[in-house]
């Protein structure tokens, strides 16, 4: 058993990818899914025992260490800038943004913060093999 405090995760969005992230986060050892934010989700759609809040501000107030952003892509810029401004770590689901301009805005916001941010890169479904040092970098 670990003596470390669990990471307090928040999830933004309960669409199909959000529900998958909720399932994974809820089952990860060393991670506590603290709350889920979705302004239009049915209250019963959050995992059992996990509060559903309606905004990033409410999610931040729950004391999260990081957030997984799985809301519609059109909202990624607004949500990412809000999280960066609050100093909350983020993993942003792909695609990062609906446009190059929006992606550059997100990148600039995170480059000014000491808080790390990551977003998945498109990749094949084959598992990665070989030494970790040979894997492509992730994030900005």
DSSP state string for 46-112: SPTT--EESSHHHHHHTT-SEEEE-S-GGGHHHHHHHHHHHT-EEEEPSSS-SSHHHHHHHHHHHHT
List the chain pLDDT tens, one digit each, 140 residues: 567 899 999 999 999 999 999 999 988 999 999 999 999 999 888 999 999 999 999 999 999 999 999 999 999 999 999 999 999 989 999 999 999 999 999 988 888 766 555 555 444 444 444 555 555 555 54
Dihedral sign of CA atoms 88, 94, 99, 104 in order: positive
Taking the CB of residue 25, how many other CB atoms lie within 10 A of it? Answer: 20
Which pLDDT belongs to residue 110?
Answer: 81
Backbone φ/ψ region at 84: left (φ over 0), alpha (ψ -120 to 50), beta: alpha
Which pLDDT belongs to residue 119?
Answer: 54
Which pLDDT belongs to residue 132?
Answer: 52
Dihedral sign of CA atoms 64, 68, 74, 78 in order: positive
Per the confidence metrics, is the pTM higher than 0.85? no
Which pLDDT belongs to residue 138?
Answer: 52
- The strand pairing partners of 53, in sequence order, are 37
Q: Which residue has the tokens 């059992």?
A: 48
Which pLDDT belongs to residue 126?
Answer: 45
């Amino acid at each position: 058993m670990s003596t470390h405090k669990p990471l307090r995760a928040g999830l933004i969005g309960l669409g199909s990818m959000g529900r998958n992230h909720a399932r994974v986060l809820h089952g990860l050892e060393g991670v506590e899914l603290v709350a889920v934010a979705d302004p239009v989700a049915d209250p019963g759609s959050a995992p059992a025992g996990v509060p559903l809040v309606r905004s990033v501000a409410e999610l931040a107030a729950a004391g999260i260490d990081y957030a997984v952003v799985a809301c519609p892509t059109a909202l990624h810029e607004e949500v990412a800038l809000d999280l960066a401004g609050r100093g909350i770590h983020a993993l942003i689901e792909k695609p990062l943004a609906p446009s190059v301009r929006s992606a550059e805005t997100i990148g600039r916001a995170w480059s000014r913060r000491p808080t790390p941010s990551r977003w998945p890169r498109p990749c094949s479904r084959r598992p990665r093999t070989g030494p970790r040092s040979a894997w492509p970098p992730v994030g900005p």
